[in-house]
Every structure is written in structure tokens, then in C-alpha cells.
Amino acid sequence: MANIKDIAKQAGVSISTVSYALNGSPKVTDETSARILAIAKELHYIPNAAARNLKKQETKIIGVFLTDFSGSFYGHLLQGMKEGVNQSGYDLVVCSGKQSHQLLPQRMIDGAIVLDETFSSEELLRYADLGHKLVVMDRDLNHPNINQVLLDNKAGATLAVEHLIELGHRKLYVVTGPKGSFDSRQRLQAVKQVIDRHPDLQYIEIEGDFNKSSGALAGIQIAQGYSEPAAVFCLNDEMAIGMYDYLITTDIRIGEDIHIIGFDNIEVTQYTQPRLASIDYSKQKWGLLASEQLLKLIAGNDVEHEHIYVTLVKGKSMGAV
């Protein structure tokens, strides 16, 4: 492993000259610079990150923290983030699990994007207090070193419920996410605001956990109590798909007997029969925006919290009553 000392020896110059040449400083002659660069290449010189990080107090690496690695959902999101950070010469690494949390305070990364329930808000605030820069995508947290980039959950849930009311539905099931989920809580809150304005609406809440299986479970419950057409708002698509999988094995027809709408507009919804109505937003844009906000924070700029806007995607799964 060649270092600048080796290069300096070979070139017959001092290490500082080598450093300048390597970093393209105009202070060194083109001639010597060329000679040094040639030797560097010849020795397969690669700068040592630890040494540089120690000196410069930055790593040019951004960490993304996810609850787990599963879920095709993350693909576009991470793609968006990668674009954002790469453009500014940063690298992106994806982390998961408690153990990896230390990467931030140990200064292995220059900042973090958090979409990970295993971080407590207290922990995040502690890091922020220590001067670390953060973007959160899954909670409401206010601190000068933390920026929020959140989905407009309330708008989405409102769109969904108003859509089914417009279609004439008067009986509504809502399948919730896990209690700890910020997105679930926000969506549910918006649902309740809408139904408060519609006293004629019959409203039944079923507890879910954002996973397929809980959607299927909710489907069983709904099928058992089936007496008349009803609308179901699954607070994410995953659960809606789980419900599909179950209902398909019954006599109940989706979009005629039971009407379903989801949230997230994940890729498989394109393949569902009938097409699942959902709430759409650009996952890539969400990721891109989060990364941009973090870079601004790191650069020391003031940044306002941001929202990602959502739209209604109609589908045959949610028909008129």
C-alpha cells in the first residue's frame, strides 16, 4: 500500500509537494506535478480514507437508516437519494439495525437520513444536540440540526376517503398500520376528520400492522360479517394486496361487493385484478428531496421542512355503490 511518503521518496520531493500535486493545487509546477502524478499512478496510490477523514473531519459519506432491508418499496427511494448525494460528491451507504447507529456519532458518516423506527426520537435529538445533521422521514421532530421530509399523509387519506364517499359508499372499514407508525397515525387522524363531517357514515376500524398477512386477516373479518357492499381503506397497499389474496379465494368480488383502496401505489398494484385504487407519490422524489435537504443542512444552510405531495389513483377495485 503506497502512501504519499513513498511517492515523495520516488519523486525526490517532500510529502507536502506530493499532497499539493495530488490535490491539483496550482502552487506546484506543471512539470513536477505531472511527474508526481505519474509515479502515483505507477505505485497504484490510493489515498487512505481514515487519514483524510481524521484531518478533514468529514467523510463525504451519507448514511441511510432503514428498519429492515426487505420491501421492494425502498428501491426507488434509495435510487433518488443516491442521485442526490452523488451529484455533490458524496457516497450513500444503507444501514440497518441498532449496531449501525453508532456510525453517526463516531463520525463515520457526515449525516443521516432516517426512516427507521428502531431509532428513538430521544436518540436522534441527542445526536442533533451533538451537532450531527439529520433528515427524518418517519416522524415529526424539531431541532435546528434536523430537517423533516414527510409525506402529506393527511392529504392522501383525505383524498381516499372523500373519493369513496363520492362514489356513494356509506359503510367504511379502515385497516390501520402498527400503533408506532407515524404514517399510520397521521392517515388515521385525517380519516377521522373526514368522517366527523359525515355523520351518516358507518365506520369500523380494524387493527393491522402494514404487512400483507394483517390485510388478509382483516379480509377474513370483513368477509365473515359481510351483509352489504362496503368500502375498505387499507392504510397501505401491502395490506390491500393481502386482502386481495384472501378475498380471491371467496365468492366476494372486489370492486363490486367489497371496494378497496390502498396507500403508496406500490408497483404490484399495476398487476392486481381489478386494479387497486391507491394514493400515489414519487418515491424517487421523496428520496431525492431528503438527500438534498441533508446536504443543505451539512453545508450550514437554513432549511424549511418539506412535504411530498400525493395524488389519487383511481382503480376498478373501488367502484360506485
Partner DNA sequence: TTGTAAGCGTTATCAA
Partner DNA sequence: TTGATAACGCTTACAA
Q: What residues line the site for a copy of itself (CB under 8 A)?
A: 1, 44, 46-51, 53-54, 59, 61, 63, 68-72, 74-76, 78-79, 82, 86, 91-97, 99-100, 102-103, 105-108, 126, 130-131, 245, 248, 271, 273
* Contact partner at residue 82 from DNA, a copy of itself, none, CB < 5 to 8 Å by partner kind: a copy of itself
* Contact partner at residue 221 from DNA, a copy of itself, none, CB < 5 to 8 Å by partner kind: none
Is residue 29 close enough to count as binding DNA by CB under 7 A? yes
* Contact partner at residue 311 from a copy of itself, DNA, none, CB < 5 to 8 Å by partner kind: none
Read off the C-alpha cell for 212: 400483507
- Give the C-alpha separation, 294 to 296, whole Å: 5
Q: Which of 241, 237, 247, 228 is nearest to 321 (CA)?
A: 228
Given the rule CB under 7 A, which of 41-49, 134-142, 221-229, 257-265 is the region that contacts DNA? 41-49
Read off the C-alpha cell for 165: 364517499
Is residue 41 close enough to count as binding DNA by CB under 7 A? no
Closest to DNA by CB, 48 vs 202, is 48
Is residue 102 close enough to count as binding DNA by CB under 7 A? no
Count CA within 13 A, CB hemisphere, residue 102. 1
Is residue 224 close enough to count as binding DNA by CB under 7 A? no
* Contact partner at residue 44 from a copy of itself, DNA, none, CB < 5 to 8 Å by partner kind: a copy of itself
Is residue 179 close enough to count as binding DNA by CB under 7 A? no
Count CA within 13 A, CB hemisphere, residue 90. 27
* Contact partner at residue 61 from DNA, a copy of itself, none, CB < 5 to 8 Å by partner kind: a copy of itself
Read off the C-alpha cell for 195: 368522517
Minimum separation from the CB atom of position 119 to DNA (A):
23
Pairing of strands 61-66, 91-96: parallel
φ, ψ dihedrals at 47, nearest 5°: -60, 145
* Contact partner at residue 97 from a copy of itself, DNA, none, CB < 5 to 8 Å by partner kind: a copy of itself
Closest to DNA by CB, 50 vs 248, is 50
- Give the C-alpha separation, 207 to 215, whole Å: 9
Q: Which of residues 55-94 bind DNA (CB under 7 A)?
A: 55-57
φ, ψ dihedrals at 114, nearest 5°: -115, 125
- Give the C-alpha separation, 62 to 302, whole Å: 19
What residues contact residue 171 under an 8 Å CB cut-off, 6+ apart?
201, 202, 204, 228, 229, 230, 231
What residues contact residue 175 under an 8 Å CB cut-off, 6+ apart?
206, 207, 208, 214, 215, 218, 232, 233, 234, 235, 239, 243
Is residue 10 close enough to count as binding DNA by CB under 7 A? no
Q: Given the rule CB under 7 A, which residues bind DNA?
A: 1, 3-5, 12-17, 19-20, 22-23, 27-29, 31-33, 45-48, 50-52, 54-57
